[in-house]
A and B are shown apart, each in its own frame.
Chain A
Amino acid sequence: MAYDPKTGKGLGRFYDANHRAFRKREWRGFRDTLYDFFRWLCLYGFMAVKLGCHPILMVKAMLRYRWMVSYLTAAHMVDRHTMGLRGKELRYAHNQFFSVLHNSVLGVRDIIVRDENLRPHSKRAAKLRENTVMFDEMTPHLIMMGFPTVKWIDIAMFAIGLPSEVDQNASMYYIDAMEHLGLPADVCPEPAAESGCAVVDDYPRVGKCYFTSSMPCDGAISQTNIMTRHFKDLPSFQITPPQRVNEPEVQTYAVKNLKKGIAFLEQQFNVKWDWDAFWKNAEMYNESSRCMIEKWDVNCTDYPQVCGAALALQREYEFMAAACMDEFMLKTDRRVTKMMLKGYEQDKSADANKPKYRCIVWACPAHYYTNFTYWTQHCWGVTCVNDMEAMLSYQPITIGDKDQALADLVRCYEKMMMRSHTNGGYVNLLDECWKMCEKFNVNIVVMYDHVSCKNVGGLHGLFEDQARERGIHLIWIPHDVMDPRTVSRREMREAFNQYMITVLREEPLDPSLLDYEDARSW
């Protein structure tokens, strides 16, 4: 507990309304501060080793791409999520976040060394581009499991997705660029920002073709159109997983579509789908999914371990950005699983304190406030035991049976981020929520009310009625995904505060976190 009732000092004192950076870092006791310091050194050391050897390219990238500037704030992102954490929880969070940043730093390096905008005359960069496929953010890269010699880079994730989670100010410029061209302001900021990035020509050109998907919602479908038009000089392929993902009849079509995608890549890079590599990578996917399920199982008990954004963001990036093919992420999974099981046994035998309240997070979260559930934990004692964004594909890929393996791979595409719960009928979003409440033994749902999302907005009334019937506290937290000008972080906190004070009659655990200004912060 970071709040000291004697002095009245809490975590809120680190925020400065006039500055983006925190006033100072937190003293967490000798061991934890030293651990945090060691992690801080590791992060900067890793960035220096991997990016420091390209100083000119890094400067050029900072000056060429606005989104690249947001990556400077990586250490602040870690601080935002680890603030107030102690002991094993601090260690889980650092391990989980470092694996995400490890993958991202390598991704940034891969972008700058092959980008045509930064190195238009470099033969080496051109050669690298010849062997690289560019992906869209909402298209998992699992298809690359069978192409071990071809490199892939998710340009939208690096230009929009990740910066918007690192820095709350990152996407506003791109949203405005798209709205200048007539896009209504009530469109989801995610496709708007990704389209805006194309409009101002801020995407790196790092590959010889572009691989995208039909996207999980209508706003994102339009974004695909704009992106493919932006890359009109490059061959592109759009994978189109079916909408009715629960129907067995659509799976034959989905497999055919996947095979077309494989044929497209084979033709572009003049290589053949490699089954041996596929089996090896599928094993990695299966193992990482097993680790994920173990984390869920432990969080179902009275002693949840890896909670909040440390659970959700890591899985999101492991599945969507790294396609479960990142050795370092898998090593982290193994390490954290081991630590978590040990931590669980310790807590159980010591009959340690249980969370005051348990919650799950449902619906699309605010990219600009990924540490919201840490705030609920520190301010109100509401611990997030699972997050819809972490509930991505976890069913194993059958090893050895080629037809079944492709059907399983298709299933992974259908159970990707967003599509998993917003496509295929209301059962995946509405009924699934109550199932998860029961499984994780929670009676609070932090229900993200994405003000521009038409998919989830249509079920608003049903959620309220059914939550009331089940006696579940549904706390609606409005937000606008990537645009904090519509609903600020402070307003999100206020919505939660109101519920806790007026309905649950609670007192904050840390009053300094009740209300503070962080509009300027990253």
Chain B
Amino acid sequence: MAWYWIVLIVVAALFGLLFLAYMTNADMKLIEKLYDTLIKYHDSKTVEEKI
């Protein structure tokens, strides 16, 4: 198989995967998990409140 076919297939596969992630909102669903974890971490911190 010629090298340009391989490049084309890789680019097409990458495009397809990204488009799938975009349409299913996979990026924001993943970020939701990360967001909840980080907020839980911040909630667990002991913070001194002072003016």
B1 within 8 A of A: no
How many Å lie between the Cα of A27 and that of B50 in the bound state?
49
Contact with A along B9-46 (1 / 0, CB 8 A): 00000000011001111011101101110110110000
Q: How many residues of A contact B (CB 8 A)?
A: 34
B8 within 8 A of A: no
Instruction: Out of A24, A72, A198, name the residue touching B25 (CB < 8 Å).
Output: A24
Q: Which residues of B contact A173 (CB under 8 A)?
A: 42
How many Å lie between the Cα of A23 and that of B31 in the bound state?
13
B2 within 8 A of A: no
How many Å lie between the Cα of A226 and that of B50 in the bound state?
10
Q: How many A-B residue pairs have CB under 8 A?
A: 71
Most buried by B among A21, A24, A226, A522: A21
Q: Which residues of A contact B (CB under 8 A)?
A: 19-25, 27, 37, 40-41, 44, 62-63, 66, 69, 72-73, 75-76, 79, 169, 173, 177, 180-181, 198-201, 226, 229-230, 522
Q: Which residues of B contact A230 (CB under 8 A)?
A: 51
Given A69-B38, A69-B39, A23-B22 contact (CB < 8 Å): no
How many Å lie between the Cα of A177 and that of B45 in the bound state?
14
How many Å lie between the Cα of A458 and that of B5 in the bound state?
71
Q: Which residues of B contact A (CB under 8 A)?
A: 18-19, 22-25, 27-29, 31-32, 34-36, 38-39, 41-42, 47-51
Given A20-B35, A37-B22, A69-B42, A229-B27 contact (CB < 8 Å): no
Residues A62 and B22 in contact, CB atoms below 8 Å apart = no
Known pairs A25-B24, A79-B25, A169-B39; list 8 more (Cβ under 8 Å): A24-B24, A25-B23, A72-B31, A72-B35, A75-B27, A76-B31, A199-B50, A230-B51
Given A25-B23, A66-B39, A69-B38, A76-B51 contact (CB < 8 Å): no
How many Å lie between the Cα of A181 and that of B51 in the bound state?
9
Q: Which residues of A contact B23 (CB under 8 A)?
A: 24-25, 27
Report the nearest B residue to A200, measured CB to CB: B47
Given A37-B22, A73-B35, A21-B28 contact (CB < 8 Å): yes
Instruction: Out of B27, B35, B47, B50, name the residue touching A69 (CB < 8 Å).
Output: B35
